[in-house]
Amino acid sequence: SFIVAAKSGEEWWLESASGGIQVKADGFAIDRLVNAVRDLKAKEFVAEATADFARYGLTRPDYRVTVSEKDAPTSKTVLIARKTEKPSQVSKAPSPTPEPDRAYVAVEGGKQVFLVEGKILEALKRTPLDLRDKRLLAFEIKDVKGLRLAWPDATIAPEKEGDNWKLTQPQPAIADGGKALDLIYSVNGLRFKDIATEKPGDLVRYGLAKPQVEVIVKKTDNTDLPAIAFGKVDKEKNQLFAKVKNSPIVYVLEPRVLDDLPRDPAKLKKEDPKANKS
């Protein structure tokens, strides 16, 4: 298998496993990979000039990392193979402190072979899912004016007006600013844990043809971000299906995220202190 990551401006993007769909990557995760390869330090120079890469497992390496640097005329491919010990002919007791992992490293087309610490093998042990940006929506809290929770029977819409919050739907009311912000932070923190499919043939099976609720974030410039639709819950697998309107991908989330989406507008209203006095 292979993973293709490319940087555009300040953002990293991945080519999806099925091909054709470009998805946003977790920039920090990609940077860690790049830094792990860039910072490789030789513990030992194994061979200065050899054509026998097979001896070191480098003809079929564990990893091939091809790096294309900005303004560089050509890319470079680094070959990385776990060092394996040949069984000894002399029987001896095992060492109380096992030898740490090591890896052979070479640049494709070169003749030098180096021995490096084996931690590079763990650093590169990543799947496409590991490297994806798992946010359903990327936005800054400061850019949010309000949001709408569109349930089948009602819509709840807290919105900021100056320094205060109000409910514009289902009925105008004064909103609790702290509770409204908690809700926005919850939406901002939504992360998927897996992908059900990148090319859904039928949204009905995921409960997304008629979602149980849609969440729409309204920005301070009065534009809306793509709606997040929440479908059915698979109780057996503890999965909630969700989809962002501008993407075909069906995501898998923890069902408990629904607990943060109030269906009763009273949960967002500001309490009247007079009503609590006996």
Question: What digits encode the pLDDT tens for the residues 134-148?
Answer: 999 999 999 999 999
Query: What's the confidence (pLDDT) of residue 97?
Result: 47
Mean pLDDT of 3-10: 88
Mean pLDDT of 147-159: 95
Among 106, 131, 156, identify where a domain stops: 131
In this predicted structure, which of 11-25, 158-172, 223-237 has the lowest mean pLDDT? 11-25
The 3 state secondary structure assigned to 69-115 is CCCCCCCEEEEEEECCCCCCCCCCCCCCCCCCCEEEEEECCCCCEEE
Residue 99: pLDDT band (50, 70, 90) is low
As a whole number of angstroms, the longest Cα–Cα distance in the chain is 89
Give the pairing of strands 113-117 and 102-107. antiparallel
Determine the distance from the C-alpha atom of residue 152 to the mean position of all C-alpha atoms in its chain, rounded to a whole number: 30
Name 265's bridge partners.
none
Of residues 1 and 111, more confidence is placed in 111
Q: Rounded to 10 degrees, what is the CA torsion of 245, 246, 247, 250?
A: -10
Q: Do 90 and 168 belong together in one domain?
A: no
Among 131, 162, 186, identify where a domain stops: 131
Q: Do 193 and 113 belong together in one domain?
A: no
**Long-range contacts of residues 66-72, Cβ cutoff 8 Å, at least 24 apart:** 67/34, 67/37
Q: Do 17 and 62 belong together in one domain?
A: yes
- Separation between Cα atoms, residue 148 and residue 175, nearest integer Å: 13
Q: Do 154 and 125 belong together in one domain?
A: no
pTM: 0.78
Q: Do 266 and 171 belong together in one domain?
A: yes
Q: Do 25 and 99 belong together in one domain?
A: yes
Question: What digits encode the pLDDT tens for the residues 175-185?
Answer: 999 999 999 99
Range of the domain at 214: 141-276
Domain-embedded: residue 136:
no
Q: Which DSSP category does 132 fall into?
A: B
Q: Do 127 and 182 belong together in one domain?
A: no
- Separation between Cα atoms, residue 43 and residue 38, nearest integer Å: 15
- State yes or no: pLDDT of 90 exceeds 50: no
- Separation between Cα atoms, residue 98 and residue 158, nearest integer Å: 60
Report percent pLDDT > 70 for the chain. 90
Residue 94: pLDDT band (50, 70, 90) is low
Q: Average pLDDT over the chain, rounded to whole? A: 89
Residue 273: pLDDT band (50, 70, 90) is low
Domain-embedded: residue 66:
yes
The SS3 of residue 162 is coil
